[in-house]
Every structure is written in C-alpha cells, then in structure tokens.
C-alpha cells in the first residue's frame, strides 16, 4: 500500500490550478509545510506574492524563517499564484514596521 500524501498533493494542485483560486497559497500552506508545522501555524492572507503565516511565538517565527526557501519551493507546484515570500508573524503581536 502506498502513502496517500503525494497523491493528495497532486489532486489538490490540479484542482487549484484548474480553478485558478486567488487564495490557493493559503489553502496550500498545510500541504507545503507538513502536518506538524500546519498544526502550529495558520496561513492568514496572501497579497502581492506574499503569504502571511501566523506562528505561536518568536522562536517559531525565527525557526520557520530559516526554512522559507524550502516552503517556497514546496508551494511552487501547488499553486498558480506566485509566492515570492512568506511573512511569519507572531499571533497576537503587532507587526513591526519594515526598516
């Protein structure tokens, strides 16, 4: 018996690509990051090529930031919308202005 994960990813990607959903990066986040990370994060918005993901705390924010390249690569086949960056924000904390 084969694992269902790869097949489900293919079905999801085909469906989203066919429908051209603008919120596809939000929907694709759990598949791109995996179940453990998805259980501790929440993709909250997508605009102008940036996917915003809420995280539990600053430690999670820093750790996930280190894996941004891998997550961007994982999102690529799952959505037709370009995701150029992922912004990890700590849930409940105001965002710092960019410098």
Residue 93 has pLDDT above 90, yes or no: no
Residue 18: pLDDT band with limits 50, 70, 90: low
- Topology (CATH) of 5-90: GMP Synthetase; Chain A, domain 3 (3.30.300)
Residue 77: pLDDT band with limits 50, 70, 90: confident
How do the domains of the chain map onto residue ranges?
5-90
User: Which ranges constitute the DSSP H helices of 20-90?
Assistant: 24-33, 35-38, 58-66, 68-75
Q: What does the CA dihedral 26, 14, 21, 42 come to, rounded to 10 degrees?
A: -10
Q: What is the pTM of this model?
A: 0.80
């Amino acid at each position: 018996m084969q694992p269902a994960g790869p097949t489900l990813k293919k079905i999801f990607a085909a469906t989203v690509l066919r429908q051209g959903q603008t919120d596809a990066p939000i929907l694709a986040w759990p598949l791109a990051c995996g179940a453990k990370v998805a259980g501790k994060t929440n993709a909250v918005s997508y605009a102008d090529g940036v996917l915003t993901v809420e995280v539990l705390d600053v430690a999670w924010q820093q750790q996930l930031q280190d894996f941004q390249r891998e997550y961007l690569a994982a999102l690529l086949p799952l959505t037709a919308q370009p995701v150029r960056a992922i912004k990890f924000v700590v849930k409940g904390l105001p965002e710092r202005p960019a410098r």
